[in-house]
Every structure is written in C-alpha cells, then in structure tokens.
Amino acid sequence: MSNMRHMPRVLIVEDEAPIAELISINLKHNGLSPIWAEDGESAQREIDAVLPDVILLDWMLPGQHGVVWARKWRSDPRTKSIPILMLTAKSEEQDKVSGLDAGADDYITKPFSTQELLARIRSVLRRRAPEQAEDSVTMGGLHLDGATHRVTFNGEALKLGPTEFKLLNFFMHHAERVHSRAQLLDKVWGDHVFIEERTVDVHVKRLREALGAAGAMVETVRGAGYRFTNKATG
C-alpha cells in the first residue's frame, strides 16, 4: 500500500530454518517485512540496527531460552513497547503463562495456521497504533495521554507495555462498568477467536502492578469480570 509509511518489520527469532522460511514467505505475501535471526544474539544485533514493529520469538532457542530474551527486551527502554509474540511448541498452560509473565503480549502454539499468525500480528500492531487513542482522560490522580502514550499517577510517570496501555485506555473510557473477559478480548484485543480468556487475567495483573498505588482502581468482580472504578482507595 503506497500510503503506508513503511511495511511493518517483523523480527522472527527462530532457530529452525524451514519454519522461519515458511513464516517469512507468508509474511512477505501479506505486506509485511520479515527479518530472520536464528538466536537471541543475532536478534539483538538486528534490534540494535533497526527496531522491528513486532518480534516473533521462539520459546526454545539454542543458548538462552526465548523467555530470557523477552525479559531482557521488556526491561530495556528502547525495546519496551515492541509487541512480542511467543512461538511455542508446548501447549501446556504453565508455559504460556511463563511466556506472558516474562513480558510477551501473546503466544501462538505450533503448529499454527498462516491465518492465525497473521491475525495475531495484526492484532498486536493494532494495539500498538497510537491513532486508537488520541484523547486524554483523567481519573482519581491517574492521567492517560492517548497522543503521547504516557500515563502518570499523581504526576509520577508509569511504565506500561502496549497491551496494558490499551487495556487501561479502554477501562478509563468505560469506567464503573463491569466488563467480562470475553468483552475485553473483543474490545481490546479485537481477535478474541484466537486468544484464551486466561490471557486477560495475566494482562490485568500486569496492569495492576504497573499502576502501583493506583492498581486498586482495577477491581475484580467475582464471576463477572473486571471494573475500573474511581472510588477513593485506601
């Protein structure tokens, strides 16, 4: 598309060449620009050169596990806001949770279809797109600026990942209402067909941690979902 600033760059961190090749071909056919790195070290070199728009990160890598790299990139201010999709051959619940806890925005279990992979990539790119939230909103000392993607609480800057920002933005614009996990997946993720409700819980937990003292504004409504409330906490 000629009006796009650039084709989104997708860094594929995958040691199995046939899988990386297959993903690359599919991404190219769908207007994305793939870059392949076979381990974390070469991925780091690519990131040092040019920041990607999305990182597809294999769980099992030679040397250090993908989870180690996810943590590293999440803690570095330069790469903190880049969406990370974990590629995992394991379907065990615990591994998915470990990947999300390490800072991945989503995970996809091998074998996966091209359509599913593209849906996930487009979803994290949409969540990252600032045009989703141009306006600002303030509640109880918490201020979210949609244009600059900044969040402050009582004047102190808070660090939120891209998914947590989108989640908070939705909560603050729809305060005092109870939202089920399915509704949140629909409104925040946009492709809930492929995402499990457990993912919402992990991101809400991460959002609360990022909000610190303001975390209590995100309430769990047992059996129903979550509500963002402006009640005085204390």
Q: What is the domain-level CATH number for residue 29?
A: 3.40.50.2300
103: Cβ contacts below 8 Å, ≥ 6 apart: 70, 71, 73, 74, 75, 84, 161
Residue (of 143, 220, 145) closest to 184 by Cα position = 220
Find the domain containing 92 and state its range.
9-128
Average pLDDT score over residue span 32-59: 92
**pLDDT over 60 at 233, yes or no:** no
What's the rounded mean pLDDT across residues 162-184? 89
The answer for residues whose C-beta is within 8 angstroms of residue 209's C-beta and 6 or more apart is 215
pLDDT at 163: 86
In a domain, residue 185? The reply is: yes
Per-residue pLDDT, averaged over 70-94, amounts to 83
Mean pLDDT computed over every residue of the chain: 85
Biggest distance spanned by C-alpha atoms of the chain: 55
141-157: per-residue pLDDT in tens? 999 988 788 899 998 99
Decide: 135 and 41 in contact? Cβ < 8 Å: no
Q: Are residues 149 and 105 both part of a single domain? A: no
Q: Is residue 215 assigned to a domain?
A: yes
The residue that leads in pLDDT, 216 or 135, is: 216
Residue 2 covered by a domain: no
- Quick: pLDDT tens for 87-142: 887 666 677 777 777 888 888 888 888 888 998 898 888 776 544 445 788 888 99
Q: Which residue has the higher pLDDT, 14 or 49?
A: 14
